[in-house]
């Protein structure tokens, strides 16, 4: 379709819906998709962007001219425009903002710290002074009904835009029209500072079962709101971040990272893992003479490391998950570790018995020296390693959490490294004691 016939393609796409065009773009190579996007009229472009997560707008837009971007920004909703600008390279966004009305306002909206309530909040909200009546408010809403795109609550503020309370839409519906807003307002509104961490906002909403949270600036003025939709987005983002951090990747990583970004976002954890592995290697060097006497022992190193790694990651993931969903009963921590120990012993025993049987079975086909004693060595090591790794995996996140460190961040590498070293040392200690 898209080779170079700009006019024909643009005319053909003019009648398509934004979603359909996006579906087409997604099937093109990025370069082609960007070129095609440049050809579209402004209306069509806006329809396409509306279908796309604003945080990924930058991918499509990074080759656009400033003039066109400025035009698009002016016609987008404020929240979406802010998120779109945030997805562009900083310099490019700065130049666009300079060309807009009220560059200071835009700059302030873009300046909220990442992962703060200010970044996630919705800027469009309705606020009225307290001395108006419900009837006034309804009249006002009727007049502006074209502009209003979502109506979650009506906020009541004083002359300086400081928040006094709110009314739910049903209050407007169910309260006599002559009532003053100030007399009907609900006071159970929780508000947070714009700099509050999004994670904290989410926990607050979940713990207190809140629908809407107001966001204030340092002077106490209402600047935005966090509604169920924003809460859903925060919950998704936080879960994604946890997952990426656990895998040892910077939480900003996306599938569109350039090779240099990939390096910056992953290399630190690779190096940390390498340092841990060097520790395991050094531990092994101490047993060089054991290994020299029976090279076959080396064949079981992968098994020890794999079991230690898997058992540790399993236990720690369950723990991190429970911590982040608030499902850790602090009075039950000993009980939790006890159950973890019980489960680890059962798993370790199963793995050990199966491995031992496997070794003896193989020894009937291939010649292995002392198969019984090798089976015993491997079985005992697997049982010990599984148990230690699972108990460590379950306790390290709890300890990190106590120390105020995000357990997801430190987890991957800390657990893998300690388990690698423990796995190798336990194995060679048993080998020295039993097999030789």
| In the complex, least distance from residue 277 CB atom to a second copy, rounded to whole angstroms | 4
Distances 100 to 64, 67, 94, 366 between C-alpha atoms, Å = 17, 11, 10, 78
Six-digit token string for 395: 């306790």
Q: Are the CB atoms for 318 and 394 separated by under 8 Å?
A: yes
Q: Which two tokens stand for residue 190?
A: 């929780």
Output the smallest distance, CB 296 to a second copy, in A: 7
Residue 98 vs 190, nearer CB to a second copy: 190
Q: Measured from the CB of residue 108, what is the shortest distance to a second copy in angstroms?
A: 27
Count the alpha carbons within 13 Å of 44 in the hemisphere toward its beta carbon: 19
Question: Shortest distance, CB of residue 129 to a second copy, whole angstroms?
Answer: 20
Q: How far apart are CA 126 and CA 153, in angstroms?
A: 7
Distance of alpha carbon 60 from alpha carbon 141, whole angstroms: 36
- Return the bridge partners of 126, or none: 154
Cβ nearer to a second copy, comparing 100 with 243 = 243
Long-range contacts for 266-270 (Cβ within 8 Å, ≥24 apart)?
A: 269/412, 269/413
Which of 96/167 has CB closer to a second copy? 167
Backbone angles phi, psi at 308, to 5 degrees: -60, -45
Least separation in angstroms between residue 259's CB and a second copy is 3
Side-by-side strand order, sheet with 222-226: 190-193, 213-216, 222-226
**Complex with a second copy: residue 148 or 372, whichever CB lies closer:** 148
Nearest distance in Å: CB 66, a second copy: 25
Q: Which is nearer to a second copy, 94 or 273 (CB)?
A: 273
For a second copy, the closer of residues 45 and 416 by Cβ is 416
**Whose Cβ is closer to a second copy: residue 129's or residue 273's?**
273
Counts for the chain of helices (H) and strands (E), in that order: 21, 6
The number of C-alpha atoms within 13 Å of 250 and in the hemisphere containing its C-beta is: 13
Q: How far is the CB of 74 from a second copy (least distance, A)?
A: 21
Is the distance from CB of 153 to CB of 204 less than 8 angstroms? no
Closest distance of CB 160 from a second copy, Å = 28
Strand partners, 186: 166
* Percent of residues in the chain assigned helix, strand, coil, to nearest 5: 65, 10, 25
Shortest distance, CB of residue 170 to a second copy, whole angstroms?
Answer: 5
Considering beta carbons, is residue 70 or 78 the nearer one to a second copy?
78
Dist CA 134 CA 141 (whole Å): 11
Cβ proximity to a second copy, 16 vs 269, nearer residue: 269
Name the DSSP class of 153: E
Q: How far is the CB of 419 from a second copy (least distance, A)?
A: 10
69 or 297: whose CB is closer to a second copy?
297
Burial of 341 (0-12, 13-18, 19+ CB in 10 A): middle
What distance lies between CA 186 and its chain's CA centroid? 34
């Amino acid at each position: 379709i898209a080779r170079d016939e700009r006019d024909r393609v643009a005319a053909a796409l003019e009648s398509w819906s934004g979603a359909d065009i996006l579906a087409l773009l997604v099937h093109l190579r990025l370069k082609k998709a960007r070129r095609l996007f440049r050809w579209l009229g402004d209306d069509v472009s806006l329809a396409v962007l509306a279908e796309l997560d604003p945080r990924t707008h930058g991918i499509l837009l990074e080759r656009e001219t400033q003039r066109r971007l400025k035009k698009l920004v002016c016609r987008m909703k404020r929240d979406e425009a802010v998120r779109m600008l945030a997805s562009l390279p900083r310099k490019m966004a700065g130049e666009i903002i300079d060309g807009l009305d009220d560059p200071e306002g835009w700059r302030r909206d873009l300046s909220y710290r990442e992962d703060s309530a200010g970044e996630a909040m919705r800027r469009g909200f309705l606020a009225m002074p307290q001395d108006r009546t419900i009837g006034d408010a309804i009249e006002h809403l009727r007049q502006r009904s074209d502009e209003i795109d979502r109506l979650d609550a009506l906020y009541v503020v004083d002359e300086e835009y400081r928040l006094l309370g709110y009314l739910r839409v049903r209050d407007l519906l169910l309260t006599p029209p002559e009532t003053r807003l100030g007399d009907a307002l609900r006071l159970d509104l929780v508000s947070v500072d714009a700099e509050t961490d999004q994670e904290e906002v989410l926990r607050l909403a979940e713990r207190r079962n809140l629908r809407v949270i107001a966001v204030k600036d340092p002077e106490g003025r209402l600047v935005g709101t966090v509604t169920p939709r924003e809460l859903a987005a925060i919950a998704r983002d936080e879960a994604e971040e946890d997952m990426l951090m656990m895998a040892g990747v910077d939480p900003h990583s996306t599938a569109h990272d350039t090779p240099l970004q990939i390096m910056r976002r992953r290399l630190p954890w690779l190096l940390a893992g390498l340092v841990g592995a060097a520790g395991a290697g050094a531990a092994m060097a101490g047993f060089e003479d054991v290994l020299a006497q029976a090279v076959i022992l080396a064949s079981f190193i992968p098994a020890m490391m794999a079991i230690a790694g898997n058992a540790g990651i399993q236990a720690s993931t369950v723990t991190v998950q429970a911590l982040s969903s608030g499902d850790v009963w602090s009075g039950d921590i000993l009980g939790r570790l006890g159950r973890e120990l019980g489960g680890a012993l059962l798993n370790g025993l199963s793995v050990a018995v199966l491995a031992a049987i496997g070794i003896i079975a193989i020894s009937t086909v291939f010649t292995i020296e002392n198969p019984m004693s090798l089976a015993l060595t491997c079985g005992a090591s697997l049982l010990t390693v599984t148990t230690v790794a699972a108990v460590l995996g379950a306790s390290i996140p709890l300890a990190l959490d106590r120390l105020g460190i995000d357990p997801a961040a430190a987890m991957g590498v800390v657990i893998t490294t300690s388990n690698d070293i423990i796995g190798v040392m336990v194995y060679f200690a048993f080998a020295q004691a039993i097999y030789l």
